[in-house]
Structure 1
């Protein structure tokens, strides 16, 4: 039977089954609770995170899901907004199966099946642990790169500074020899080459020191 051949009731049932299958398959946490905070439904992702095998754990409530500080946010901020506006979203923490806090981006909405029925709360949570680990790894890599650049810059600065003074002294000595006019023509040629190489090396060292200073800005 194709969907077009079904009556409205059958189509709603098919859509309901498809929705439940999607909820069971998704990686996000899906939690249903009544207005008093008692849990009515946990999808597999939520059960894995919270460490419970119960699909309908009515013996649990919001206080069992999260640390005290997060429960305070839920009571004082999230639930009043859900009651007043029908929805709330924010970052909070749940308690994992091992009791450790798990950061979660949570969306919470209130729904009623009909006007006279009590509202239920639908919670959709995205586990932020992986994102925070990736962010920590990126920050660590960035810090390592900055430290590496600093060490490299300090090394080059030390080498350049140590070469600068001897090269200045060498340049002055070559100038004095040049001014004496006491060398034969062949040696004068070699002297000019030595002076030229010395000036180039001093300019290169000055460029290195300037580059390091600019890199630190």
Structure 2
């Protein structure tokens, strides 16, 4: 199992998988988010280094550096399923995913590096296995106990890592462009979010 350190923030505490939650998954505010770029932003033309032994030269490149891990968020695909147990005994609820789709990286802020670079940097920093996109297929099933007089809910989808970082360009004279703060949701793995009331 991968261990991940989370930064302190105003966001809710990370969600524990495999545990019934007290309520539905928190809605991630993705206003202003767009799909992550698949290609690098265009680099400025390379200029020759200044003459002399003190001349600096850097290989121009677009950079992304993660700065804060803000936890796991679940993006559901398809409708929420629910079972109410009207009996006085515990009942078994069985949920099956009936909708498919694709979930990719979404970002806010000016992202100069590609989605592949973002994934590689996050994996290196946090020791996790992430994806540029995940295909959600139908048919995945989960069973859970529903206590008497309770409703158990299930939503299938993609667990995503929320992160902030900086994106910028290094020029051939080793100066950098202005740094842009980028917030991202990056697909981690498929799974269920379960809760009861």
> Of Structure 1 and Structure 2, which has the larger fraction of its residues in helix?
1
Output the TM-score relative to the length of structure 2: 0.18
> Of Structure 1 and Structure 2, which has the larger fraction of its residues in strand?
2
Return the structure number with greater relative CO, CA threshold 8 A, min gap 6.
Answer: 2
Over alpha carbons, which structure has the higher Rg?
1
Output the TM-score relative to the length of structure 1: 0.17
